[in-house]
């Protein structure tokens, strides 16, 4: 069997959870079957059973609004994916950027195609701020592809429920296969050189955020919670790649305001390599994930694998990763509707986040117990080898 994976992100061009997922899934799948990856970029990878090719984009003749460049660029790459001959048995798409490629492969090559849902466009209305009218295209292509797909993989039960509720996809076509974690790579480490390089005092406790500057990740809610945090620990915000200039400006103003009233706030804007992130996870007192929408929340799993307690929003798939009171605490977002736009009371959410963070930072024994429980949970449920085996089983079921 040979699987063709279509993806926006693939190393070294990885900026979110979907890219982490594809990197690890393709590696583990290649231990079981032949795998070809076609992605956005200039990659060229040849391993024993894994071949990855990046498809560059010539934007020199684009005169459309800047917001539409990533949309038309995605369409062009989906065409390029298909005009290059396909000899796989099955096509597997990740994120809406590649869904049109899956549709073309199904119609032109007669191949079954699978979609892994990492997020759903109707539940990310803030994307219009980034894509303009291109958001309407992303809504259309996602809905069309989900209905045409032979199987839809949801990364959590909560995501499966959302797919059924929003798109009325037949339940028998939806399969829950969790995200995974590389347990050999993500584990507690003693090294602290990255902390010193990044300006974090390695002998003082700190809380940690890791993620993009986007509405979805709720970073501004955490910054707003800083005024309610105890002053005796550092706040490390590893946050870059803002979605828009507007949210970048909001973040800059909010952090400056917080830093004017409190010491020990370190904002790391660079995109870090995995080794540096693992050091940050390993030595953090608490990892904080204030997302307002999260189909799975792989960053929480990364922190748990590094034996760090987590305080996270009680939304989406996070509730299936973080066990409240055992591996960390879940904080109720009190959303206005079933769709995750904003908290009903942002200040209340900020206070509740701060209360749980303060509670754990005052109790090193509980933090250690929760961190150990998180590592055990990662080992028992979320190993990538198990996720790859479940994915191949699904491929075989479709092909039979």
Q: Tell me the angle at which helices 157-167 and 134-148 cross, rounded to the nearest 10 degrees.
A: 100
In the chain, pLDDT over 90 holds for what percent of residues? 88
Quick one: pLDDT at residue 357? 98
> How far apart, in whole angstroms, are the C-alpha atoms of residue 152 and residue 393?
14
Tens of pLDDT, residues 40-72 = 999 999 998 999 999 999 999 999 999 999 999
Mean local confidence (pLDDT), 2-7 = 98
Quick one: pLDDT at residue 180? 93
Quick one: pLDDT at residue 337? 47
> How far apart, in whole angstroms, are the C-alpha atoms of residue 113 and residue 149?
5
Burial class (CB in 10 A: 0-12, 13-18, 19+), 252: middle
Our CA angle for 163, 299, 348, nearest 5°, is 80
- Reported confidence tier of residue 388, pLDDT bands at 50, 70, 90: very high
Tens of pLDDT, residues 184-201 = 999 999 999 999 999 999
* Range in 96-100, 319-323, 337-341 the model is least confident about: 337-341
Q: Tell me which of 85 and 294 has the higher pLDDT.
A: 85
Q: What is the mean pLDDT of the chain?
A: 94
Helix (H, G, I), strand (E, B) or coil at 93: strand
Instruction: Give the chain's radius of gyration (CA, Å).
Output: 21
Quick one: pLDDT at residue 16? 80
- Residue ranges of domains in the chain, CATH in brackets: 2-180+383-399 (3.40.50.2000), 193-381 (3.40.50.2000)
- Reported confidence tier of residue 326, pLDDT bands at 50, 70, 90: very high
- pLDDT beyond 70 at 214: yes
Residue whose C-alpha is closest to residue 329's, from 353, 306, 364, 296:
353
Quick one: pLDDT at residue 78? 98
- pLDDT beyond 50 at 147: yes
Q: Cis ω on the peptide bond leading into residue 207 (within 30° of 0)? A: no
Quick one: pLDDT at residue 15? 82
Quick one: pLDDT at residue 182? 92
Mean local confidence (pLDDT), 171-180 = 95
Backbone angles phi, psi at 303, to 5 degrees: -65, -45
- Reported confidence tier of residue 256, pLDDT bands at 50, 70, 90: very high
96 and 141 Cβ atoms separated by less than 8 Å: yes
Mean local confidence (pLDDT), 149-158 = 96
Quick one: pLDDT at residue 338? 47
- Reported confidence tier of residue 351, pLDDT bands at 50, 70, 90: very high
- pLDDT beyond 90 at 266: yes
7 and 45 Cβ atoms separated by less than 8 Å: no
Mean local confidence (pLDDT), 124-136 = 90
- Reported confidence tier of residue 341, pLDDT bands at 50, 70, 90: low
Quick one: pLDDT at residue 339? 47
């Amino acid at each position: 069997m040979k699987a063709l994976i279509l993806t926006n992100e693939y190393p070294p061009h990885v900026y979110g959870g979907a890219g982490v997922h594809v990197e690890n899934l393709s590696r583990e799948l290649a231990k079981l079957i032949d795998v070809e990856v076609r992605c956005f970029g200039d990659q060229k990878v040849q391993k024993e059973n894994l071949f990855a090719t990046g498809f560059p984009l010539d934007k020199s003749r684009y005169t459309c609004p800047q917001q539409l460049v990533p949309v038309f660029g995605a369409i062009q790459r989906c065409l390029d994916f298909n005009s290059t001959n396909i000899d796989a048995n099955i096509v597997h798409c990740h994120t809406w950027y590649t869904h049109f490629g899956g549709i073309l492969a199904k119609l032109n090559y007669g191949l079954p195609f699978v979609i892994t849902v990492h997020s759903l466009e109707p539940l990310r209305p803030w994307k219009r701020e980034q894509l303009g009218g291109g958001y309407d295209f992303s809504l259309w292509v996602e809905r069309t592809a989900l209905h045409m797909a032979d199987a839809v993989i949801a990364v959590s039960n909560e995501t499966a429920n959302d797919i059924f509720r929003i798109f009325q996809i037949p339940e028998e076509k939806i399969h829950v296969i969790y995200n995974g974690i590389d347990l050999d790579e993500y584990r507690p480490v003693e090294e602290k050189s990255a902390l010193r390089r990044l300006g974090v005092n390695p002998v003082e406790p700190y809380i940690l955020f890791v993620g993009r500057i986007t509405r979805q990740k709720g970073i501004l809610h955490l910054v707003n919670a800083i005024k309610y945090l105890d002053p005796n620990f550092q706040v490390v915000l590893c946050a870059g790649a803002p979605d828009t200039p507007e949210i970048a400006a909001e973040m800059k103003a909010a952090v400056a305001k917080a830093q004017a009233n409190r010491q020990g706030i370190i904002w790391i804007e660079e995109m870090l390599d995995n080794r540096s992130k693992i050091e940050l996870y390993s030595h953090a007192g608490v990892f904080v994930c204030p997302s307002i929408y999260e189909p799975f929340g792989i960053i929480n799993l990364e922190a748990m694998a590094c034996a760090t307690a987590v305080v996270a929003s009680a939304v989406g798939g996070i509730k299936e990763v973080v066990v409240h009171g055992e591996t960390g605490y879940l904080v109720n977002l009190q959303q206005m509707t079933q769709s995750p736009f904003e908290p009903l009371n942002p200040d209340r959410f900020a206070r509740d986040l701060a209360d749980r963070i303060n509670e754990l930072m005052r109790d090193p024994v509980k933090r250690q117990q929760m961190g150990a429980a998180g590592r055990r949970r990662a080992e028992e449920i979320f190993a990538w080898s198990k996720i790859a085996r479940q994915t191949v089983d699904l491929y075989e079921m479709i092909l039979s």
